[in-house]
Every structure is written in structure tokens, then in C-alpha cells.
Amino acid sequence: MSRRLRAYVVATIVAGAFALVTHPPAMLAQEWGHYVAWLVICLVSETMWEATMSGSGTWSLSSTAGLSAIVLWGPAVGMWITALATLLADLFVLRKPAVRAFFNGGQMAITALVSGIAFDLLEGARRCP
């Protein structure tokens, strides 16, 4: 692995961890059961991979479940759910190397937080019935 790639991977993992630490899940004591249920939903969705018609790629339902968690629970909770589901699925279901699993979890934390904040700024929750 080149130095630049190593620096990028480390920066992504650190930024994802920083986002998680600075945005703890709201109402964890009251809603933990719901959060765990959504974590399981997202974790199961990580196992639903299918090959594309061309056979050159794959698609999954994991992004749909992750986006649903972000919209339902907000950026901070949605970020925790999607990042943990990705990390656990990569480590224990897909059996990816730890560095790839933590990189994927970090980038999912960042992506989920930013997309959730954008949804809130665009007043997405107000527009949903």
C-alpha cells in the first residue's frame, strides 16, 4: 500500500471515528431497543447482495436500509446504525480484512452524517407526511 493510500485510509477511519464520538445517539437509554432493531435490519440488508446482469458488479439493499435509518432517526443515530452495520457485516458476514472493514465503517459514518445533515437542512422531515 502506498503512503498516500495509507494516509487516506487512516484519515477516513479517524474522521469516521471522530464523527461517531462527537455525535452520540440521542435518547439511547429510552430508544436502545429500536436502535438495535434497526441495526439488525441494516445488518441483514448488508447480506442481500446480487450480481448485476452483466456479472461485472453487484448491488445490494444496504443503502436503502441505511438511508431509511437516517431519515427515521436523524443524522447522529442513523450514522451509528449504518456505520456499525457496515463494520459488523464486513467483519463477520463478508469476512473482509479488518482494515477494509474499518475503512468502510468510517466512510459510512461520514456519508451518513453528511447526508443526514443535508436532509435536515433541506427540511426533508417537514415534507414527509
Q: How much is the pLDDT for 36? A: 95
Q: How much is the pLDDT for 50? A: 79
CA distance 10 to 60: 26
Q: How much is the pLDDT for 129? A: 54
102 contacts 78 by C-beta, under 8 angstroms: no
* pLDDT tens column, 24-70: 988 888 999 999 999 999 999 988 877 788 878 777 788 889 999 99
Q: Is a pLDDT exceeding 90 seen at residue 21?
A: yes
The reported pTM is 0.86
Domain segments of the chain: what residues?
3-127
Burial classification of residue 60, based on how many CB atoms lie within 10 Å of its CB (0-12 exposed, 13-18 middle, 19 or more buried): middle
Burial classification of residue 103, based on how many CB atoms lie within 10 Å of its CB (0-12 exposed, 13-18 middle, 19 or more buried): buried
